[in-house]
Amino acid sequence: MATTTADGSKVVGGGEKSNVDDGKMITLFSSDGERFEVTQEAAAMSQTIHHMMEDGCVDDEGVHLPNVGSEILAMVIEYCNRHVASSSSEKEEEDLRSFDDGFVKVEQHTLFDIIRAANYLDVKQLLDLCCQTVADSIKSKSVEEIRALFGIENDFTAEEEAEIRKENQWAFE
Amino acid sequence: MVYNPTELVLEILVRLPWTSLRRLRLVCRTWRDLVHDRTTEMKQCRDAVPLVVTTESVYVLDSKTSITREMWPGRTACNIYKSMEVVGACNGVLCLCDDTKLGGAITLVNPANGEVLALPPIPCAGLFRRHNTRRPGRSWHQAYSFGYHHATGQYKVVHVPCFFKTKETLQVFTRGEAAWREVPAPGARCRLDAELVSVNGATYWEWVTEGSKEKIMSFDHQSEQVRSMKPLPVSARRPICQLTQVHRRLSAATSDHIYGRDSIEVIFN
């Protein structure tokens, strides 16, 4: 997990996996100015950062991510570090599944923040995981609960709403 | 206030089955429009047209004008499709089987836009028992089923292991691929007269084992896994006559011979 080094910057390591043989590091800056050191391999799980590295757009300082706050960035980095070294052993897959299950057990608004970050950073696996989690959770929710969850107002006229309800009835809801 | 760009809401919606999407249209106008315009099933459902099948031909009914249009006009085309049985329909796409061809020849048709896709014949060599291939008028269509999975967006035609097949395998054809694929299905033979059902992205069939135990087998279109459903939630005293679907849920029609009661039970939500 994250540890703070002497100069105040955070280093988010990959758990028991050593960074030594993974090669180069890259620095990421969150929107609130926090520094994160990540292996280039883990960072490349974000297609956005990967393209920046390929196109030589990353200077000595690192990559600034104005759209991602430190709390969420730390979580995304944790996910990438965990998933980057993919071995196909069954035990490893089981461990990853447990990790993913625990990873998404967060507040709904945090999950939405992660989705936005995963979309901006283009980390497909993470986007899939979180979107599927939200999809599964709304399957059983009522329309009113979903509106409350997403902060949506009902903007239908009575006629529009009635028309949809009628269609649903005809389709044997 | 939670701000969720439309594209991200769509990412969540496309991971939901049609039964949820239909309901979620009621959340707000944006969600309604997303479901209508950007998800496959609703788009095709809204384009779907009523089909009238008679002994002479097949007609498409325009519900607004009530004008009927013959689906395959012209004598030659009509004769080709006259002997076809309907295997199934998904999102307005029809799956037809020509029983006059060995193994049954499958064609997918979309009456709304006239698209026709003739599938390659199922690889018959060594697949069917010889005495079954010689009988004329074989009901090959009974062993086929047609389904759609909302998560993959794929249409699949499935041929199940049954008494006239030599192998306990499924033959699967995915629309967009070039050929049939074999999926092993040991111990999963189908009792054809109980009918096959494809619903919500899986195909189901029934089998009675040697010990007279009923099993419902399922083939998931996404994972392509063959599984047996357990335990069977219907009364042991009432054998299943037929699998069917009610309100897009797998159901079983059972018959109580002693008391003369027939019923339909929903098996699976």
How confident is chain A (173 residues) per 10-residue block, as mean pLDDT?
A: 48 44 80 93 93 83 91 96 82 90 92 94 94 91 91 92 78 43
Distance between CA A63 and CA A28 in Å, rounded?
A: 5
Question: Residue A43 has what DSSP assignment?
Answer: H
Confidence of residue B5 (pLDDT cuts 50, 70, 90): confident
Interface of A with B (CB under 8 A): 109, 112, 115-116, 119, 127, 131-132, 134-135, 138-139, 143, 146-147, 149-156, 160-161, 164-165, 167-168, 171-173
| Nearest CA-CA distance, residue B194 and chain A, Å | 24
Closest CB from B8, B15, B32 relative to A164 = B32
* ipTM reported for the complex, 2 dp: 0.78
Place of tokens 């999926």: B183
Bridge partner list, B157: B146, B173
B89 close to A (CB below 8 A) = no
Nearest CA in chain A to B151: A132
Tell me the chain A residues in contact with residue B15 when contact means C-beta distances shorter than 8 Å: 131-132, 135
Q: DSSP 3-state assignment of B128?
A: strand
pLDDT confidence of residue B249: 73
Query: Is the link from the previous residue into B231 a cis peptide, with omega within 30 of 0?
Result: yes
Does the beta-carbon distance from A168 to B247 stay under 8 Å? no
Closest CB from B2, B11, B31 relative to A109 = B2
Helix (H) or strand (E) holding B208: strand B202-208
pLDDT confidence of residue B20: 84
What order do you get walking across the sheet with B202-208 strand by strand? B197-199, B202-208, B214-220, B226-229
| Phi and psi at residue B229, to the nearest 5° | -85, 130
Contact criterion met (CB below 8 Å) for B198 and B88: yes
Chain-centroid distance of CA B29 in Å reads: 32
Does the beta-carbon distance from B26 to A164 stay under 8 Å? yes
* pLDDT tens column, B101-151: 888 889 998 776 778 889 998 887 777 777 666 665 668 888 999 998 877
Does the beta-carbon distance from A152 to B8 stay under 8 Å? no
Does the beta-carbon distance from B12 to A138 stay under 8 Å? yes
Total beta-carbon pairs less than 8 A apart between chain A and chain B? 74
| Nearest residue to A168 (alpha-carbon basis) of B32, B55, B8 | B32
